[in-house]
């Protein structure tokens, strides 16, 4: 089974993410070690909470450069929820600069009559990159579980892999660019469809592993 590093920076629901990856056929390794990230077959960056503390924790553990190096190398990488947002340049939620891997900014949902913030619960995706590896064997508009008050606004629209509509606002729900993928929803909490997303990521990692002779 592939070994997938799950980055520990005190901002993630690591147990749920690891259980989901185990069900999907991977061996998760919770770590904050740069060496472990380099050796892993794939990387998952989970996250729950606020933008500024997340970036402060990453930098205090000297994880910013290893994360960027892993993404640059083409290693399969999956960000989840806050792990999507911190890939961007910055957030309206705070002052800290993000990782700056994806040009763009994290913005707060605009208030409107009858709109609940945070956006919490089940919602369907509109798949804007139908051939994205994460969506393999999913229906056209799969339902996923969301909990967020902020959404990512990429400068380049083509990086969007899926959108979601909350009230009158349609925002980015997932991004994909080569081996870099990240989602705003929680696949580990999204029942069968979410487990399929994780299994598709594990399959992508498997495809990159050298074949034993």
The pLDDT value recorded for residue 211 is 45
The pLDDT value recorded for residue 25 is 87
Catalytic status, residue 38: no
Catalytic status, residue 166: no
Q: Indicate the helix (H) or strand (E) that contains 171.
A: strand 169-177
From first to last of its 213 residues, the chain has per-residue pLDDT tens of 789 999 999 887 788 889 999 998 899 999 999 999 999 999 999 999 999 999 999 999 999 999 999 999 999 999 999 999 999 999 999 999 999 999 999 999 999 998 999 999 999 999 999 999 999 999 989 999 999 999 999 999 999 999 999 999 999 999 999 999 999 999 999 999 999 999 999 999 998 765 443
- Structurally, at CATH architecture level, domain 3-208 sits in 3-Layer(aba) Sandwich (3.40)
**Distance separating alpha carbons of residues 84 and 71, to the nearest angstrom:** 13
Of 119, 148, 166, 186, the active-site residue reads 186
Of 18, 148, 166, 188, the active-site residue reads 188
The pair of three-digit structure tokens given for residue 73, joined into one six-digit string: 């190398």
The pLDDT value recorded for residue 209 is 61
Catalytic status, residue 81: yes
Of 18, 81, 119, 132, the active-site residue reads 81
**Distance separating alpha carbons of residues 210 and 8, to the nearest angstrom:** 27
Residue with tokens 């205090």: 60
- Return the DSSP state at 151: E
The pair of three-digit structure tokens given for residue 61, joined into one six-digit string: 């553990």
């Amino acid at each position: 089974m592939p070994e997938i590093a799950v980055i520990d920076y005190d901002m993630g629901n690591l147990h749920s993410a690891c259980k989901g990856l185990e069900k999907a056929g991977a061996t998760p390794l919770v770590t904050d070690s740069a060496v472990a990230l380099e050796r892993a077959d794939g990387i998952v960056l989970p996250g729950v909470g606020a933008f500024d503390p997340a970036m402060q924790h990453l930098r205090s553990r000297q994880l910013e450069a290893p994360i960027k190096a892993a993404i640059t190398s083409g290693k399969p990488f999956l960000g989840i929820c806050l792990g999507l947002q911190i890939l961007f340049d910055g957030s309206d939620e705070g002052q800290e600069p993000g990782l700056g891997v994806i040009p763009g900014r994290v913005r707060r949902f605009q208030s409107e009559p009858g709109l609940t913030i945070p956006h919490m619960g089940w919602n369907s995706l509109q798949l804007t990159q139908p051939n994205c590896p994460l969506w393999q064997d999913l229906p056209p508009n799969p339902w996923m579980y969301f909990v967020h008050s902020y959404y990512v606004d990429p400068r380049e629209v083509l990086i969007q892999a899926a959108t979601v509509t909350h009230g009158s606002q349609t925002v980015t729900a997932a991004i994909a660019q080569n081996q870099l993928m990240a989602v705003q929803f929680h696949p580990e909490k999204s029942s069968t469809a979410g487990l399929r997303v994780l299994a598709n990521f594990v399959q992508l990692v498997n495809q990159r592993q050298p074949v034993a002779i």
